[in-house]
């Protein structure tokens, strides 16, 4: 049997120009005509990709941001052509690079279902046939004739996903769709993807959600700098990927003066470091490790009232915790010049995945009023890596905290 | 994007190399190749396959436009009507000109609605690609569907204004030549629409390629407005052959004159009409070619 997707040395080159905005303007073009052309620097987003996907396979694509995952999906879904090479696709493709593409706030739920369905490649007849199902799955039956602008975020996300879930393609291309929405939404969409995979559809699944990739996929490829550098069983490929992750989440970030941030900058965060219990700077942690957050602050003048707040965020942006210095009965009081501060979280219990830390520096809160000195929302990330404890595999869908409380059996 | 169908299209069923027993793929077999693009290749079959999306996008644009307006459809009536009244007051009291036996209101109105069709079709199409960036970046379909469906709103508006036009012709008893009018009207509309499609597609492409181009479009339309005898008859430039020549070369101006001529049993200058049809017939494929050339790497600059 022939493979359902056959990629034959696909390459994609983007043109980038030094010192130039990503958009071309007429002014720039006329100008460079006069001066004899801007220097073009080719950027290879993909290089010589040859992969075959058989019918019924669920192929996971993992890799760092900018490794070419999305470009690959865009080529396979024909949004952008390859620069060289070719792909043969044998079947009806639906690409879900986002849910709710083309949703319009002025239109009602009903109208949006038809529009969105049509954009995703359903015919009007197919949409009509599945209309009730879509509505029921999204649980928005009562609002079918209400304009979308009156929907809550959750409702429109459900509607969007519901339309997407009722596509009936031979090949489904999915990009990070699971990373949006709340936990319930993620669970539901994952379940639907599993159903699709079981019913013999071919799925190409791009995600940073490694547990989901592991659970869903039958095969995986790892992209690095536009090339396939690992291919095989999900366990092996994900393992290979994580072992190279260190360079990206290296546990250190430096914030120069022009770093985008808010606040009046009376007190500034200049850098942040994450250290483990051995005092080594790293971005990778396992359950039970200690996480030392080292903050380097600076103030040009003597600032008398300073308070530090840390936030820990999930990879999808949800807050895991907000930590005030005063919660631990710590007070910095005043700052002048450079200050080195450390906050240690002992015995980490987070489930595997990426987490981010945000920092806020502000004055003491008097009543409701305070001055914001500096604010860097999610300025560094760390990753919880070992997702196996004993015989158990931790899936992010099962929870957020791995707890080992005291269990005791009492005499009856 | 080149689509090479080895099967029988989307609903085609027989493909020799896929055994029918295999699975559900066999009965909806589409096979295509994704290759580096050649901009001159157009798959009309593909456009046909995506016709429903075209309807839906046009339908969305119309719905959204009229939902956002308090006055709704009334607005489409009001706009040219108010302009006509203003112009009539201005024109008939300030400058008096021969409008070829046509009462000025109907003279102005006939020009205004055809110009309105042209101008809004061009500017809708020109802006459409930028407005639909999110679609273009996330889903594949033949891109020309977007500017073409944006034209439909302009045609819809025109349909509304046409009703008033018919009422006006009755009111001024110009309906003596009704059959003639009905026969010539589609020619006028056709010329205007094809010219607008050509220009609109080219401008949409330019908008994609150059982000600062959208400031050029309204200006360009304003210039074109004065190069079209919308509010004045061509006859006022009889003494200046160059200006008259420019006016005559413009297919929209020919369409307007044809419509006016249809109202007052004036002999039709078929030579001019043929030139206009020819020009519009060149403009459309030329604009389409420009568009295709840019479409090739559409998602990248956007």
pLDDT tens across A338-378, in order? 999 999 999 999 988 888 888 989 888 776 677 888 888 77
Could you tell me if B180 and B101 lie in one domain?
A: yes
Residue B230 is classified by DSSP as S
Helices B178-209, B104-131: crossing angle, 10 deg rounding: 30
Cα distance between residue A88 and residue B105, in whole Å: 61
Does residue B138 sit at the A interface (CB-CB below 8 Å)? yes
- Nearest by CB to residue A86, choosing from B17, B33, B297, is B33
- Tell me if A383 sits within 8 A of A353, measured CB to CB: yes
Cα distance between residue A80 and residue B139, in whole Å: 10
- Choose the weakest-confidence range: A34-43, A187-196, B282-291: A34-43
B209: which chain A residues are within 8 Å (Cβ-Cβ)? 24
Does residue B24 sit at the A interface (CB-CB below 8 Å)? yes
User: pLDDT, tens digit, for every residue of A102-133?
Assistant: 888 888 999 999 999 988 888 889 899 999 98
CB contact under 8 A, B25 and A23: no
- Nearest by CB to residue B36, choosing from A81, A90, A170, is A81
Q: Average pLDDT in the A159-183 region?
A: 74
- Tell me if B104 sits within 8 A of B88, measured CB to CB: yes
- Choose the weakest-confidence range: A328-337, B6-15, B130-139, B272-281: B6-15
Confidence class for position B108, pLDDT limits 50, 70, 90: confident
Higher pLDDT, A97 or B122: B122
What number is the ipTM of this complex? 0.76
- Nearest by CB to residue B30, choosing from A86, A91, A114, is A91
CB contact under 8 A, A104 and B60: yes
Q: Average pLDDT in the B219-241 region?
A: 81
Cα distance between residue A273 and residue A398, in whole Å: 30
pLDDT for residue B276 is more than 60: yes
CB contact under 8 A, A91 and B28: yes
- Nearest by CB to residue A119, choosing from B64, B139, B300, is B139
Does residue B70 sit at the A interface (CB-CB below 8 Å)? no
CB contact under 8 A, B36 and A83: yes
pLDDT for residue A8 is more than 90: no
Count of alpha carbons within 13 angstroms of residue B187, beta-carbon side? 25
**Which domains does chain A show, CATH number per domain?**
5-246 (3.40.50.300), 252-393 (2.70.50.60)
Could you tell me if B52 and B130 lie in one domain?
A: yes
CB contact under 8 A, B64 and A102: no
CB contact under 8 A, A90 and B25: yes
Cα distance between residue A305 and residue B160, in whole Å: 68
Give chain A as a 3 state SS string: CCCCEEEEEEEEEEEEECCCCCCCCHHHHHHHHHHCCCCEEEEEEEEEECCEECCCCEEEEEECCCCCHHHHHHHHCCCCCCCEEEEEEECCEEEECCCCCCCCCCCEHHHHHHHHHHHCCCCHHHHHHHHHHHHHHHCCHHHCCCEHHHCCHHHHHHHHHHHHHCCCCCEEEEECHHHCCCHHHHHHHHHHHHHHHHCCCEEEEECCCHHHHHHHCCEEEEEECCEEEEEECHHHHHHHHHHCHHHCCCCEEECCCCCCCECCCCEEEEEEEEECCCCCECCEECCCCCEEEEEEEEEEEEEEEEEEEEEEEECCCCEEEEEEHHHHCCCCEEEEEEEEEEEEECCCCECCEEEEEEEEEECCCECCECCEEEEEEEEEEEEECCCEECCEECCHHHCCECCCCCCCCCCC
Does residue B34 sit at the A interface (CB-CB below 8 Å)? yes
- Nearest by CB to residue A24, choosing from B25, B32, B211, is B211
- Nearest by CB to residue B56, choosing from A75, A80, A118, is A118
A146: which chain B residues are within 8 Å (Cβ-Cβ)? none
What's the pLDDT score for residue A342? Answer: 93
Query: Which residues are A383's β-sheet partners?
Result: A284, A354
What's the pLDDT score for residue B14? Answer: 34
B67: which chain A residues are within 8 Å (Cβ-Cβ)? 106-107, 147
Query: Which residues are A271's β-sheet partners?
Result: A254, A296
Q: Average pLDDT in the A192-200 region?
A: 80
DSSP-derived pairing of the beta strands A171-175 and A202-206: parallel
What's the pLDDT score for residue A35? Answer: 61
Reported for B275-278, long-range contacts at CB under 8 A and 24+ positions apart, including other chains, are B275/B249, B276/B191, B276/B251, B277/B187, B277/B190, B277/B191, B277/B251
- Nearest by CB to residue B137, choosing from A23, A78, A79, is A79
Reported for B17-25, long-range contacts at CB under 8 A and 24+ positions apart, including other chains, are B17/A2, B18/A90, B22/A1, B23/A55, B23/A200, B24/A170, B24/A200, B25/A4, B25/A55, B25/A90, B25/A91, B25/A170
What's the pLDDT score for residue B299? Answer: 54
Which B residues 199-228 touch A at CB under 8 Å? 209-213, 216
Could you tell me if B159 and B32 lie in one domain?
A: no
Does residue B23 sit at the A interface (CB-CB below 8 Å)? yes
Q: Which residue in B141, B136, B302 sits closest to A101, CA to CA?
A: B136
A75: which chain B residues are within 8 Å (Cβ-Cβ)? 34
A107: which chain B residues are within 8 Å (Cβ-Cβ)? 60, 63-64, 67
Residue B100 is classified by DSSP as T
Closest residue, chain B, to A80 (C-alpha): B299
Is position B42 within any domain?
no
Could you tell me if B28 and B57 lie in one domain?
A: no
B61: which chain A residues are within 8 Å (Cβ-Cβ)? none
User: pLDDT, tens digit, for every residue of B136-186?
Assistant: 888 888 888 999 999 999 999 898 888 888 888 888 776 566 777 888 889
Write down how long chain A is. 412
- Nearest by CB to residue B60, choosing from A4, A81, A107, is A107
CA of B226 vs chain A CAs: smallest distance (Å)? 25
Could you tell me if B17 and B117 lie in one domain?
A: no
Q: Average pLDDT in the B217-239 region?
A: 82
Higher pLDDT, A46 or B265: A46
Could you tell me if B21 and B107 lie in one domain?
A: no
pLDDT for residue A79 is more than 80: yes
Reported for A128-137, long-range contacts at CB under 8 A and 24+ positions apart, including other chains, are A130/A166, A133/A166, A134/A159, A134/A162, A134/A163, A134/A166, A135/A109, A135/A162, A137/A162, A137/A165, A137/A166
CB contact under 8 A, B210 and A95: no
Rg of chain B on CA atoms, in Å: 23
B56: which chain A residues are within 8 Å (Cβ-Cβ)? 114-115, 118-119, 124
CB contact under 8 A, A23 and B140: no
B18: which chain A residues are within 8 Å (Cβ-Cβ)? 90
| Number of domains within chain B | 2
A25: which chain B residues are within 8 Å (Cβ-Cβ)? 210-212
CB contact under 8 A, A119 and B56: yes
Cα distance between residue A350 and residue A383, in whole Å: 9
pLDDT for residue B80 is more than 80: no
Cα distance between residue A338 and residue A327, in whole Å: 24
Residues 6+ apart with CB under 8 A from A156: A100, A103, A148
pLDDT for residue B201 is more than 90: yes
Is position B155 within any domain?
yes
Residues 6+ apart with CB under 8 A from A194: A215, A216
Is position B43 within any domain?
no
Confidence class for position A183, pLDDT limits 50, 70, 90: low
CB contact under 8 A, A88 and B135: no
Confidence class for position A24, pLDDT limits 50, 70, 90: low
- Nearest by CB to residue A89, choosing from B34, B57, B212, is B34
Is position B65 within any domain?
yes
Phi, psi of B271 (to 5 degrees): -60, -45
Does residue B1 sit at the A interface (CB-CB below 8 Å)? yes
pLDDT for residue B199 is more than 90: yes
Residue A357 burial by Cβ neighbours in a 10 Å radius (0-12, 13-18, 19+): buried
Higher pLDDT, A215 or A224: A224
A84: which chain B residues are within 8 Å (Cβ-Cβ)? 36
CA of B217 vs chain A CAs: smallest distance (Å)? 13
Is position B302 within any domain?
no
A–B interface: beta-carbon pairs under 8 A: 127
Q: Average pLDDT in the B64-76 region?
A: 75
Could you tell me if B85 and B230 lie in one domain?
A: yes
What Cα–Cα distance (Å) separates residue A324 from each residue in A218, A263, A296, A321, A409? 44, 18, 17, 10, 38
Residues 6+ apart with CB under 8 A from A267: A297, A298, A299, A303, A306, A335, A361, A373, A374
What Cα–Cα distance (Å) separates residue A240 from each residue in A223, A232, B205? 11, 11, 44
- Nearest by CB to residue B56, choosing from A23, A84, A114, is A114
A120: which chain B residues are within 8 Å (Cβ-Cβ)? 139
Average of per-residue pLDDT values in chain A: 82
What Cα–Cα distance (Å) separates residue A24 from each residue in A15, A20, A30, B135, B218? 11, 8, 11, 20, 20
Could you tell me if B185 and B97 lie in one domain?
A: yes
A119: which chain B residues are within 8 Å (Cβ-Cβ)? 53, 56, 135, 139, 141
Residue B1, domain extent: 1-36
Could you tell me if B133 and B28 lie in one domain?
A: no
Does residue B11 sit at the A interface (CB-CB below 8 Å)? no
Average of per-residue pLDDT values in chain B: 78
What's the pLDDT score for residue A178? Answer: 56
CA of B255 vs chain A CAs: smallest distance (Å)? 33
Count of alpha carbons within 13 angstroms of residue B71, beta-carbon side? 6
Highest mean pLDDT among A33-47, A109-123, A375-389: A109-123
Confidence class for position A292, pLDDT limits 50, 70, 90: very high
Does residue B32 sit at the A interface (CB-CB below 8 Å)? yes
Could you tell me if B23 and B107 lie in one domain?
A: no
Could you tell me if B167 and B253 lie in one domain?
A: yes
Is position B264 within any domain?
yes
> Whole-angstrom distance between the N-terminal and C-terminal Cα of chain A?
64
Confidence class for position B4, pLDDT limits 50, 70, 90: very low
Higher pLDDT, B301 or A305: A305
Is position B230 within any domain?
yes
Could you tell me if B24 and B156 lie in one domain?
A: no
Q: Which residues of B18-56 are buried (b: 16+ CB within 10 A; e: fewer)?
A: beeeeeebbebbbbbbbbebeeeebeeebeebbebbbeb
Cα distance between residue B155 and residue B125, in whole Å: 12
Is position B13 within any domain?
yes
């Amino acid at each position: 049997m022939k493979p359902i997707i056959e990629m034959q040395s696909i390459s994609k080159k983007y043109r980038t120009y030094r010192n130039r905005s990503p958009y071309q303007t007429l002014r720039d073009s006329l100008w460079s005509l006069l001066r004899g052309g801007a220097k073009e620097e080719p950027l290879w987003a993909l290089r010589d990709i040859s992969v075959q996907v058989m019918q019924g396979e669920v192929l996971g694509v993992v890799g760092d941001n900018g490794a070419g995952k999305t470009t690959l999906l865009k080529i396979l879904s024909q949004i952008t052509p390859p620069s060289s090479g070719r792909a043969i696709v044998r079947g009806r493709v639906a690409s879900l690079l986002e849910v709710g593409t083309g949703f319009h706030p002025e239109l009602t739920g009903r109208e949006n279902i038809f529009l969105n369905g049509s954009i995703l490649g359903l015919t009007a007849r197919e949409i009509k046939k599945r209309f009730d199902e879509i509505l029921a799955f999204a649980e928005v039956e009562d609002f079918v004739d209400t304009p979308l602008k009156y929907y809550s975020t959750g409702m429109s996300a459900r509607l969007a996903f519901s339309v997407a879930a009722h596509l009936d393609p031979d090949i489904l291309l999915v990009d990070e769709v699971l990373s949006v929405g709340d936990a319930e939404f993620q669970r539901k969409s994952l379940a639907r993807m599993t159903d699709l995979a079981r019913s013999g559809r071919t799925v190409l699944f791009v995600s940073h959600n490694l547990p989901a990739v592991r659970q869903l996929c039958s095969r995986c490829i790892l992209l690095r700098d536009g090339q396939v550098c690992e291919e095989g069983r999900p366990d092996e490929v994900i393992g290979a990927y994580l072992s190279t992750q260190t360079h990206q989440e290296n546990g250190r970030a430096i914030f120069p003066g022009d770093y985008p941030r808010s606040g009046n900058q009376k007190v500034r965060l200049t850098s942040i470091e994450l250290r483990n219990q051995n005092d080594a700077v790293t971005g990778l942690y396992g359950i039970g490790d200690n996480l030392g957050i080292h903050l380097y602050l600076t103030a040009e003048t003597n600032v008398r009232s300073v308070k530090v707040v840390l936030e820990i965020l999930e990879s999808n942006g949800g807050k895991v915790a907000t930590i005030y210095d005063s919660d631990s009965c710590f007070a910095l009081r005043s700052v002048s010049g450079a200050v080195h501060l450390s906050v240690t979280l002992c015995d980490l219990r987070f489930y595997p995945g990426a987490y981010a830390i945000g920092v806020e520096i502000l004055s003491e809160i008097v009543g409701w009023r305070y001055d914001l000195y500096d604010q860097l929302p999610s300025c560094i990330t760390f990753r919880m890596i070992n997702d196996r404890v004993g015989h158990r595999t931790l899936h992010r869908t099962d929870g957020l905290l791995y707890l080992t409380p005291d269990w005791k059996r009492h005499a009856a | 994007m080149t689509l090479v169908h080895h099967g029988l299209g989307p609903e085609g069923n027989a493909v020799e190399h896929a055994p029918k027993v295999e699975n559900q793929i066999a009965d909806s077999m589409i096979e295509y190749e994704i290759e580096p693009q050649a901009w001159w290749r157009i798959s009309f079959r593909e456009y046909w396959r995506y016709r429903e999306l075209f309807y839906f996008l046009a339908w969305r644009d119309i719905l959204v436009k009229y939902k956002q307006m308090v006055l709704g459809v009334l607005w489409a009536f009001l706009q040219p009507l108010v302009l006509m009244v203003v112009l009539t007051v201005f024109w008939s009291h300030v400058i008096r000109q021969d409008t070829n036996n046509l009462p000025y209101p109907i003279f102005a109105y006939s020009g205004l609605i055809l110009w309105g069709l042209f101008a809004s079709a061009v500017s809708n199409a020109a802006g459409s690609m930028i407005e639909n960036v999110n679609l273009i970046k996330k889903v594949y379909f033949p891109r020309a569907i977007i500017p073409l469906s944006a034209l439909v709103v302009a045609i819809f508006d025109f349909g509304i204004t046409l009703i008033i036009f018919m009422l006006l012709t009755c009111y001024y008893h110009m309906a003596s030549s009704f059959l003639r009018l009905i026969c010539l009207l589609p020619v006028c509309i056709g010329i205007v629409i094809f010219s607008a499609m050509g220009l609109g597609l080219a401008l949409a492409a330019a908008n994609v390629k150059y982000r600062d181009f959208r400031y050029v479009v309204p200006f360009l339309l304003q210039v074109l407005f004065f190069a079209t005898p919308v509010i004045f008859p061509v006859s006022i430039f009889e003494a200046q052959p160059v200006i008259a020549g420019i006016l005559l070369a413009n297919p929209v101006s020919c369409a307007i004159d044809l419509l006016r001529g249809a109202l007052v049993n004036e002999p039709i200058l078929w030579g001019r009409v043929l030139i206009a049809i020819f020009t519009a017939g060149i403009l459309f494929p030329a604009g389409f070619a420009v568009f295709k050339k840019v479409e090739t790497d559409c998602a990248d600059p956007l």
